[in-house]
Homo-oligomer: A and B are copies of this chain.
Protein backbone atom coordinates (compact mmCIF):
# COMPACT_ATOMS: atom_id res chain seq x y z
CA UNK A 1 0.00 0.00 0.00
CA UNK A 2 1.05 3.61 0.21
CA UNK A 3 2.09 5.83 -2.62
CA UNK A 4 4.02 3.32 -4.66
CA UNK A 5 1.46 0.54 -4.63
CA UNK A 6 -1.75 2.36 -3.94
CA UNK A 7 -4.96 0.35 -3.89
CA UNK A 8 -8.29 2.05 -4.10
CA UNK A 9 -10.75 0.87 -1.52
CA UNK A 10 -14.23 2.14 -0.79
CA UNK A 11 -15.25 3.27 2.67
CA UNK A 12 -15.57 0.17 4.91
CA UNK A 13 -19.23 -0.64 5.44
CA UNK A 14 -20.60 0.76 2.19
CA UNK A 15 -22.88 -1.42 0.13
CA UNK A 16 -21.01 -4.11 -1.82
CA UNK A 17 -21.11 -3.60 -5.55
CA UNK A 18 -20.64 0.14 -5.07
CA UNK A 19 -18.64 1.17 -8.11
CA UNK A 20 -15.65 3.30 -7.22
CA UNK A 21 -14.74 4.79 -10.57
CA UNK A 22 -11.32 6.34 -10.60
CA UNK A 23 -11.45 10.08 -11.03
CA UNK A 24 -9.53 9.99 -14.29
CA UNK A 25 -11.87 7.39 -15.74
CA UNK A 26 -14.46 9.96 -16.66
CA UNK A 27 -13.68 9.46 -20.36
CA UNK A 28 -16.66 7.93 -22.12
CA UNK A 29 -14.68 4.93 -23.29
CA UNK A 30 -15.13 3.05 -26.53
CA UNK A 31 -17.19 -0.04 -27.23
CA UNK A 32 -16.64 -2.21 -30.28
CA UNK A 33 -18.64 -5.25 -31.31
CA UNK A 34 -16.85 -7.78 -33.49
CA UNK A 35 -18.99 -10.55 -34.95
CA UNK A 36 -17.24 -13.37 -36.71
CA UNK A 37 -17.67 -16.87 -38.04
CA UNK A 38 -15.53 -19.06 -40.27
CA UNK A 39 -16.80 -17.06 -43.26
CA UNK A 40 -17.60 -13.60 -42.01
CA UNK A 41 -16.15 -10.74 -39.96
CA UNK A 42 -17.92 -7.52 -39.06
CA UNK A 43 -16.84 -4.80 -36.68
CA UNK A 44 -18.74 -1.79 -35.46
CA UNK A 45 -18.69 0.71 -32.65
CA UNK A 46 -21.72 0.84 -30.40
CA UNK A 47 -22.87 3.53 -28.04
CA UNK A 48 -24.71 1.38 -25.52
CA UNK A 49 -24.87 -2.24 -24.51
CA UNK A 50 -28.43 -2.44 -25.76
CA UNK A 51 -27.02 -2.58 -29.28
CA UNK A 52 -25.14 -5.81 -28.64
CA UNK A 53 -27.09 -8.83 -29.93
CA UNK A 54 -27.54 -11.24 -27.02
CA UNK A 55 -27.78 -14.17 -27.06
CA UNK A 56 -25.48 -14.27 -30.05
CA UNK A 57 -27.24 -15.52 -33.23
CA UNK A 58 -26.49 -19.14 -33.91
CA UNK A 59 -23.37 -19.84 -35.99
CA UNK A 60 -21.77 -16.57 -34.99
CA UNK A 61 -19.33 -15.52 -32.32
CA UNK A 62 -19.32 -12.06 -30.73
CA UNK A 63 -16.46 -10.19 -29.14
CA UNK A 64 -17.47 -7.07 -27.25
CA UNK A 65 -14.47 -4.87 -26.49
CA UNK A 66 -14.91 -2.20 -23.85
CA UNK A 67 -11.96 0.16 -23.60
CA UNK A 68 -12.02 2.63 -20.69
CA UNK A 69 -14.05 2.29 -17.54
CA UNK A 70 -17.19 4.10 -18.66
CA UNK A 71 -19.62 4.10 -15.72
CA UNK A 72 -22.60 3.93 -18.06
CA UNK A 73 -21.38 0.89 -19.97
CA UNK A 74 -20.09 -1.06 -16.98
CA UNK A 75 -23.09 -0.23 -14.84
CA UNK A 76 -25.30 -1.76 -17.54
CA UNK A 77 -23.48 -5.11 -17.60
CA UNK A 78 -25.67 -6.42 -14.81
CA UNK A 79 -28.99 -5.64 -16.46
CA UNK A 80 -28.03 -6.56 -19.99
CA UNK A 81 -26.03 -9.75 -19.38
CA UNK A 82 -26.88 -10.70 -15.79
CA UNK A 83 -23.38 -10.12 -14.55
CA UNK A 84 -23.18 -10.24 -10.73
CA UNK A 85 -22.70 -6.77 -9.16
CA UNK A 86 -19.58 -7.97 -7.35
CA UNK A 87 -18.04 -8.95 -10.67
CA UNK A 88 -18.72 -5.49 -12.04
CA UNK A 89 -17.12 -4.08 -8.90
CA UNK A 90 -14.04 -6.22 -9.55
CA UNK A 91 -13.91 -5.08 -13.18
CA UNK A 92 -13.90 -1.46 -12.09
CA UNK A 93 -11.53 -1.76 -9.18
CA UNK A 94 -8.15 -1.88 -10.82
CA UNK A 95 -5.25 -3.69 -9.15
CA UNK A 96 -7.16 -6.86 -8.44
CA UNK A 97 -5.23 -10.07 -7.96
CA UNK A 98 -5.56 -12.24 -11.03
CA UNK A 99 -8.43 -14.68 -10.58
CA UNK A 100 -11.00 -16.81 -12.32
CA UNK A 101 -14.53 -17.17 -11.04
CA UNK A 102 -17.15 -19.50 -12.42
CA UNK A 103 -20.80 -18.56 -12.52
CA UNK A 104 -23.71 -20.44 -14.00
CA UNK A 105 -23.79 -18.66 -17.32
CA UNK A 106 -20.35 -17.14 -17.61
CA UNK A 107 -16.75 -17.25 -16.52
CA UNK A 108 -15.05 -14.18 -15.09
CA UNK A 109 -11.32 -13.75 -15.63
CA UNK A 110 -9.32 -10.81 -14.37
CA UNK A 111 -5.63 -10.35 -15.05
CA UNK A 112 -3.03 -7.81 -14.12
CA UNK A 113 -0.29 -7.35 -16.73
CA UNK A 114 2.94 -5.66 -15.68
CA UNK A 115 4.90 -4.08 -18.52
CA UNK A 116 8.17 -2.28 -18.46
CA UNK A 117 7.82 1.16 -20.01
CA UNK A 118 10.51 2.90 -22.01
CA UNK A 119 11.85 4.74 -18.95
CA UNK A 120 12.37 1.54 -16.99
CA UNK A 121 9.36 1.93 -14.72
CA UNK A 122 6.62 -0.71 -14.69
CA UNK A 123 3.04 -0.03 -15.57
CA UNK A 124 0.13 -2.21 -14.52
CA UNK A 125 -2.70 -2.84 -16.89
CA UNK A 126 -5.81 -4.69 -15.80
CA UNK A 127 -7.79 -6.83 -18.21
CA UNK A 128 -11.15 -8.41 -17.44
CA UNK A 129 -12.75 -11.09 -19.58
CA UNK A 130 -16.34 -12.32 -19.35
CA UNK A 131 -16.78 -15.54 -21.27
CA UNK A 132 -20.39 -16.39 -22.15
CA UNK A 133 -21.66 -18.99 -24.59
CA UNK A 134 -20.68 -17.47 -27.98
CA UNK A 135 -19.96 -14.06 -26.44
CA UNK A 136 -16.74 -12.71 -25.03
CA UNK A 137 -16.62 -9.35 -23.28
CA UNK A 138 -13.20 -7.85 -22.67
CA UNK A 139 -12.74 -4.74 -20.53
CA UNK A 140 -9.51 -2.75 -20.52
CA UNK A 141 -8.62 0.32 -18.48
CA UNK A 142 -7.58 2.37 -21.46
CA UNK A 143 -6.22 2.26 -25.01
CA UNK A 144 -3.34 -0.19 -25.26
CA UNK A 145 -1.61 -2.39 -27.82
CA UNK A 146 -2.01 -5.46 -25.61
CA UNK A 147 -4.40 -7.27 -27.95
CA UNK A 148 -3.40 -5.63 -31.21
CA UNK A 149 -1.93 -8.72 -32.81
CA UNK A 150 -4.80 -10.97 -31.77
CA UNK A 151 -7.26 -8.51 -33.24
CA UNK A 152 -5.32 -8.49 -36.50
CA UNK A 153 -5.22 -12.27 -36.65
CA UNK A 154 -8.99 -12.28 -36.26
CA UNK A 155 -9.53 -9.50 -38.80
CA UNK A 156 -7.27 -11.01 -41.46
CA UNK A 157 -8.57 -14.52 -40.84
CA UNK A 158 -5.08 -15.92 -40.45
CA UNK A 159 -4.79 -19.05 -38.31
CA UNK A 160 -7.80 -21.02 -37.18
CA UNK A 161 -9.26 -18.46 -34.83
CA UNK A 162 -12.29 -17.55 -36.87
CA UNK A 163 -13.33 -21.16 -37.23
CA UNK A 164 -13.46 -21.69 -33.46
CA UNK A 165 -15.69 -20.35 -30.70
CA UNK A 166 -15.03 -17.45 -28.34
CA UNK A 167 -13.37 -19.70 -25.75
CA UNK A 168 -10.47 -20.01 -28.18
CA UNK A 169 -10.48 -16.24 -28.60
CA UNK A 170 -10.38 -15.91 -24.81
CA UNK A 171 -7.43 -18.27 -24.80
CA UNK A 172 -5.68 -16.16 -27.45
CA UNK A 173 -6.20 -12.99 -25.40
CA UNK A 174 -4.95 -14.69 -22.26
CA UNK A 175 -1.94 -16.03 -24.12
CA UNK A 176 -1.12 -12.57 -25.44
CA UNK A 177 -1.52 -11.04 -22.00
CA UNK A 178 0.67 -13.63 -20.31
CA UNK A 179 3.32 -13.45 -23.04
CA UNK A 180 3.62 -9.72 -22.45
CA UNK A 181 5.43 -10.56 -19.24
CA UNK A 182 8.38 -12.01 -21.15
CA UNK A 183 9.85 -8.79 -22.59
CA UNK A 184 9.47 -7.21 -19.15
CA UNK A 185 11.31 -10.08 -17.53
CA UNK A 186 13.97 -9.89 -20.18
CA UNK A 187 14.54 -6.26 -19.41
CA UNK A 188 14.73 -6.97 -15.68
CA UNK A 189 17.13 -9.82 -16.39
CA UNK A 190 19.37 -7.55 -18.43
CA UNK A 191 19.38 -5.04 -15.63
CA UNK A 192 20.37 -7.75 -13.16
CA UNK A 193 23.24 -8.80 -15.43
CA UNK A 194 24.41 -5.20 -15.78
CA UNK A 195 24.33 -4.71 -12.04
CA UNK A 196 26.30 -7.89 -11.51
CA UNK A 197 28.97 -6.71 -13.94
CA UNK A 198 29.15 -3.35 -12.18
CA UNK A 199 29.44 -4.99 -8.81
CA UNK A 200 32.19 -7.34 -9.91
CA UNK A 201 34.11 -4.51 -11.55
CA UNK A 202 33.62 -1.82 -8.95
CA UNK A 203 31.06 -1.77 -6.13
CA UNK A 204 29.09 1.40 -6.15
CA UNK A 205 26.33 2.97 -4.12
CA UNK A 206 24.42 3.69 -7.33
CA UNK A 207 24.46 0.03 -8.33
CA UNK A 208 23.12 -0.88 -4.96
CA UNK A 209 20.23 1.51 -5.33
CA UNK A 210 19.46 0.10 -8.76
CA UNK A 211 19.57 -3.35 -7.20
CA UNK A 212 17.13 -2.22 -4.54
CA UNK A 213 14.75 -0.92 -7.22
CA UNK A 214 15.07 -4.16 -9.14
CA UNK A 215 14.18 -6.12 -6.06
CA UNK A 216 11.07 -4.01 -5.62
CA UNK A 217 10.16 -4.62 -9.25
CA UNK A 218 10.64 -8.35 -8.78
CA UNK A 219 8.48 -8.23 -5.68
CA UNK A 220 5.73 -6.63 -7.73
CA UNK A 221 6.19 -9.15 -10.52
CA UNK A 222 6.00 -11.97 -8.03
CA UNK A 223 2.86 -10.57 -6.50
CA UNK A 224 1.33 -10.38 -9.95
CA UNK A 225 2.41 -13.76 -11.29
CA UNK A 226 1.61 -16.23 -8.51
CA UNK A 227 -2.13 -15.50 -8.60
CA UNK A 228 -1.86 -15.53 -12.39
CA UNK A 229 -0.67 -19.11 -12.31
CA UNK A 230 -3.44 -20.13 -9.93
CA UNK A 231 -6.01 -18.42 -12.12
CA UNK A 232 -4.83 -20.13 -15.31
CA UNK A 233 -4.71 -23.48 -13.52
CA UNK A 234 -8.28 -23.02 -12.34
CA UNK A 235 -9.36 -22.10 -15.85
CA UNK A 236 -7.64 -25.14 -17.32
CA UNK A 237 -9.45 -27.41 -14.87
CA UNK A 238 -12.77 -25.61 -15.46
CA UNK A 239 -15.49 -28.05 -16.43
CA UNK A 240 -18.48 -25.82 -16.92
CA UNK A 241 -18.81 -26.40 -20.66
CA UNK A 242 -17.96 -22.81 -21.49
CA UNK A 243 -14.37 -23.88 -22.14
CA UNK A 244 -14.62 -26.49 -24.89
CA UNK A 245 -12.69 -29.74 -24.78
CA UNK A 246 -10.13 -28.83 -27.43
CA UNK A 247 -9.24 -25.57 -25.75
CA UNK A 248 -7.82 -27.21 -22.63
CA UNK A 249 -4.60 -28.24 -24.33
CA UNK A 250 -4.04 -24.62 -25.37
CA UNK A 251 -4.70 -23.43 -21.85
CA UNK A 252 -2.17 -25.95 -20.58
CA UNK A 253 0.34 -24.14 -22.75
CA UNK A 254 -0.58 -20.81 -21.17
CA UNK A 255 -0.20 -22.50 -17.82
CA UNK A 256 3.29 -23.67 -18.79
CA UNK A 257 4.17 -20.10 -19.70
CA UNK A 258 2.87 -18.84 -16.37
CA UNK A 259 4.98 -21.43 -14.56
CA UNK A 260 7.99 -20.43 -16.63
CA UNK A 261 7.42 -16.77 -15.75
CA UNK A 262 7.28 -17.57 -12.04
CA UNK A 263 10.39 -19.67 -12.45
CA UNK A 264 12.24 -16.73 -13.98
CA UNK A 265 10.95 -14.33 -11.34
CA UNK A 266 12.00 -16.59 -8.50
CA UNK A 267 15.40 -17.28 -10.03
CA UNK A 268 15.94 -13.56 -10.52
CA UNK A 269 14.96 -12.95 -6.94
CA UNK A 270 17.52 -15.45 -5.73
CA UNK A 271 20.11 -13.91 -8.00
CA UNK A 272 19.44 -10.43 -6.65
CA UNK A 273 19.73 -11.76 -3.12
CA UNK A 274 23.14 -13.11 -3.96
CA UNK A 275 24.07 -9.81 -5.53
CA UNK A 276 23.32 -8.08 -2.24
CA UNK A 277 25.85 -10.41 -0.63
CA UNK A 278 28.29 -9.73 -3.43
CA UNK A 279 27.85 -5.99 -3.01
CA UNK A 280 28.32 -6.06 0.73
CA UNK A 281 31.35 -8.27 0.45
CA UNK A 282 32.84 -6.12 -2.29
CA UNK A 283 32.33 -2.92 -0.38
CA UNK A 284 33.80 -4.30 2.79
CA UNK A 285 36.66 -5.80 0.83
CA UNK A 286 37.50 -2.53 -0.85
CA UNK A 287 37.19 -0.59 2.38
CA UNK A 288 39.40 -3.06 4.17
CA UNK A 289 41.99 -2.77 1.43
CA UNK A 290 42.10 1.01 1.76
CA UNK A 291 42.17 1.03 5.53
CA UNK A 292 44.88 -1.60 5.58
CA UNK A 293 47.21 0.35 3.31
CA UNK A 294 46.63 3.59 5.17
CA UNK A 295 47.12 2.00 8.54
CA UNK A 296 50.33 0.36 7.38
CA UNK A 297 51.70 3.71 6.19
CA UNK A 298 50.85 5.24 9.53
CA UNK A 299 52.34 2.34 11.42
CA UNK A 300 55.64 2.58 9.58
CA UNK A 301 56.01 6.27 10.27
CA UNK A 302 55.05 6.21 13.92
CA UNK A 303 58.31 4.68 15.23
CA UNK A 304 60.30 6.94 12.92
CA UNK A 305 58.57 9.99 14.28
CA UNK A 306 59.39 8.76 17.73
CA UNK A 307 63.07 8.51 16.85
CA UNK A 308 63.28 12.01 15.45
CA UNK A 309 61.44 13.15 18.54
CA UNK A 310 64.15 11.62 20.71
CA UNK A 311 66.85 13.66 19.04
CA UNK A 312 64.71 16.75 19.27
CA UNK A 313 64.95 16.59 23.05
CA UNK A 314 66.83 19.43 24.64
CA UNK A 315 68.88 17.57 27.24
CA UNK A 316 72.00 19.50 28.03
CA UNK A 317 74.82 17.55 26.42
CA UNK A 318 77.20 19.12 28.88
CA UNK A 319 75.43 17.66 31.90
CA UNK A 320 77.20 14.32 31.73
CA UNK A 321 78.77 11.74 29.45
CA UNK A 322 75.45 9.87 28.90
CA UNK A 323 73.45 13.02 28.26
CA UNK A 324 72.73 12.64 24.52
CA UNK A 325 76.35 12.32 23.43
CA UNK A 326 75.04 11.19 20.00
CA UNK A 327 74.21 14.78 19.19
CA UNK A 328 77.88 15.67 19.11
CA UNK A 329 79.13 12.55 17.33
CA UNK A 330 80.56 13.07 13.90
CA UNK A 331 78.33 10.39 12.36
CA UNK A 332 75.37 10.91 14.69
CA UNK A 333 73.01 12.34 12.13
CA UNK A 334 73.74 9.78 9.36
CA UNK A 335 73.51 7.03 11.98
CA UNK A 336 70.07 8.26 13.01
CA UNK A 337 68.99 8.08 9.37
CA UNK A 338 70.46 4.62 9.08
CA UNK A 339 68.55 3.44 12.13
CA UNK A 340 65.34 4.91 10.79
CA UNK A 341 65.75 3.31 7.37
CA UNK A 342 66.54 0.00 9.03
CA UNK A 343 63.39 0.21 11.18
CA UNK A 344 61.24 1.09 8.16
CA UNK A 345 62.73 -1.74 6.11
CA UNK A 346 62.23 -4.22 8.92
CA UNK A 347 58.58 -3.26 9.23
CA UNK A 348 57.93 -3.49 5.50
CA UNK A 349 59.65 -6.86 5.47
CA UNK A 350 57.52 -8.08 8.38
CA UNK A 351 54.30 -6.88 6.77
CA UNK A 352 55.30 -8.58 3.55
CA UNK A 353 56.09 -11.84 5.28
CA UNK A 354 52.72 -11.83 6.99
CA UNK A 355 51.17 -11.04 3.63
CA UNK A 356 49.65 -7.85 4.88
CA UNK A 357 51.03 -5.94 1.96
Which of A6-14, A21-29, A54-62 lies at the interface? A6-14
A77 contacts B by Cβ under 8 Å: no
Whether A253 contacts B186 by the Cβ 8 Å rule is: no
Taking CB atoms, residues of chain B closer than 8 Å to A268 are 1
**A30 interface residue per 8 A CB criterion:** no
Name the residue on B nearest A290 (C-beta).
B356
Q: How far is the CB of A332 from chain B (nearest CB, A)?
A: 5
State which of A128-136, A236-244, A296-304 sits at the interface with chain B.
A296-304
For the complex, give the distance between the alpha carbons of A287 and B284 in Å: 10
Q: What residues on B are CB-neighbors of A71 within 8 Å?
A: none
Of the residues B2, B274, B301, contact of A302 by C-beta under 8 Å: B301
Complexed CA–CA distance, A158 and B14 (Å)? 10
Q: Does A311 contact B (CB under 8 A)?
A: yes
User: How many protomers of this protein does the assembly include?
Assistant: 5
Contact B179 A13 (CB under 8 A): yes
Asked whether A84 lies within 8 Å of B249 as measured between CB atoms, the reply is yes
Judged by a CB distance under 8 angstroms, whether A209 is at the interface is: yes
Contact status A313-B308, CB under 8 Å: yes
Q: Do A209 and B200 contact each other (CB < 8 Å), given the known contacts A1-B268, A12-B149, A99-B256?
A: yes
A332's partner among B149, B294, B319 (CB-CB below 8 A) is B319
Name A282-334 residues within 8 Å CB distance of B: 283-285, 287-288, 290-292, 294-299, 301-306, 308-317, 319-320, 322-324, 326-334
Which residues in A have some Cβ–Cβ distance to B below 8 Å? 1-7, 9-16, 84, 86, 89-90, 97, 99, 101, 146-150, 153, 158-159, 161, 172, 175-180, 182-183, 185-186, 188-193, 200, 202, 205, 208-209, 212, 215-216, 219, 223, 249-250, 252-253, 256, 259-260, 263-264, 267-268, 270-271, 274, 276-281, 283-285, 287-288, 290-292, 294-299, 301-306, 308-317, 319-320, 322-324, 326-334, 336, 355-356
Knowing that A13-B146, A301-B305, A320-B331 touch, tell me 11 more A-B residue pairs with CB under 8 angstroms: A2-B192, A2-B193, A5-B189, A12-B182, A15-B158, A280-B281, A283-B288, A313-B314, A313-B333, A315-B333, A323-B330
